[in-house]
Structure 1
């Protein structure tokens, strides 16, 4: 059975200063996407997400919309592969956030001044397009774009192992993951995806993965 994976950015948020919730408009858009995906699926839809509140809330709204449109939906919770890139600061895996304070609170005993002394993170916080800067960075302290794209391709390929009748999986993730995959597919940075836009993957029984970039939400 050919598997399809829709890998989508979470819904609209007002900032990235910590794990903030999706806006009401973002949730409404996610429900609408669920409605549309239900119309395209011939069987059950599996919905998964990254670990953050914004991805989990978006996934729940997509699932709700698909159910409202008559689809059978399996909410399978958090998929570890859909996490943001792994970056390390002072021996701790840190989330990509947008302030020294938000980095410092992730590391016991670390201060905002300590964060500012580390060149990569000081530059990250001043870059106009932080994610684009990471995508192009040759040696980040952790995952680079190629590593994230390889992770997602391996994850997508594993969907061929499923023996049930769930042929469509919706995974809600983050902009850095999608931009890393976009670079892998297009050969250049595709820029910030729209809310609920991202990638579509077709996975063959032989575990082959064909990715294409979605210009807008499905």
Structure 2
């Protein structure tokens, strides 16, 4: 059985400062995606997400829309593989945030001045396109784009272990994850994907994975 995995960016947010909710417009768009998937499905739809509020909100809205359209939906909660890249600062795994204060808050005893002394994070905070700068960086202090793409490919391949009748698995994640995976597909950085856009993976029984960009949200 071939498994199909949709890797989607979360819905619209007003900013990326903190663990913010998805906007009402973003929830409506996610529900529309769920309804469209339900129309294409010939079996249950599995919905999973990363651990942030914006991915969980989006996944719940996709599931809600699919159910309203008559699909059977399996909400399987949070998948660790869908997290943002792992970066390390002072021996601590830190989230990709947008200020020295937000980095320092993740590390006991660390100050904004301490963050500013570390060249990678100082440059990250001044880059016009932070995610694109990370995608191209040869030696980030943690995951590079290749490592993230490998993680997602391994995660996708594991779907071959299932022999149930699930039509689609919808996995809501983040822009850095999608941009890292897209490098493998296109040979370069695609820039910021639209809300609810992303990639589709076809996973064969032999665990081979074929990734392709979605021209628009499914």
TM range (shorter): over 0.9
DSSP-derived class of the 1:7 partner: strand
Q: Unmatched 5+ residue regions in structure 2?
A: none
Q: What residue in structure 1 maps to residue 86 of structure 2?
A: 86
Q: What residue in structure 2 maps to residue 28 of structure 1?
A: 28
Task: Provide, for residues 149-184 of structure 1, a one-character-per-residue CA deviation record: whole Å limited to 9, x for no partner.
Answer: 000001001101002111310000000000000001
Measured in 1, the distance between the counterparts of 2:113 and 2:205 equals 51
Measured in 2, the distance between the counterparts of 1:182 and 1:137 equals 16
Measured in 1, the distance between the counterparts of 2:47 and 2:135 equals 27
Structure 1 residue 215 displacement after superposition: 2.9
1:136 equivalent in alignment to 2:136: yes
DSSP-derived class of the 1:54 partner: helix
Q: What residue in structure 2 maps to residue 13 of structure 1?
A: 13
Measured in 2, the distance between the counterparts of 1:24 and 1:100 equals 30
Q: What residue in structure 2 maps to residue 47 of structure 1?
A: 47
Measured in 2, the distance between the counterparts of 1:29 and 1:69 equals 14
Measured in 1, the distance between the counterparts of 2:24 and 2:117 equals 38
Structure 1 residue 119 displacement after superposition: 0.5
Preserved contact between residue 27 and residue 61 of structure 1 (Cα < 8 Å)? yes
Q: What residue in structure 2 maps to residue 155 of structure 1?
A: 155
- TM-score (structure 1 length as normaliser): 0.98
Measured in 1, the distance between the counterparts of 2:2 and 2:46 equals 14
Q: Unmatched 5+ residue regions in structure 1?
A: none
1:175 equivalent in alignment to 2:175: yes
Preserved contact between residue 193 and residue 215 of structure 1 (Cα < 8 Å)? no
Task: Provide, for residues 108-155 of structure 1, a one-character-per-residue CA deviation record: whole Å limited to 9, x for no partner.
Answer: 111111111110001001000000000000000000000000000010
Q: What residue in structure 2 maps to residue 122 of structure 1?
A: 122
Measured in 2, the distance between the counterparts of 1:160 and 1:37 equals 21
Measured in 1, the distance between the counterparts of 2:215 and 2:2 equals 23
| Matched residues, number | 218
Measured in 1, the distance between the counterparts of 2:180 and 2:70 equals 34
- TM-score (structure 2 length as normaliser): 0.98
Q: What residue in structure 2 maps to residue 62 of structure 1?
A: 62
Measured in 2, the distance between the counterparts of 1:24 and 1:174 equals 19
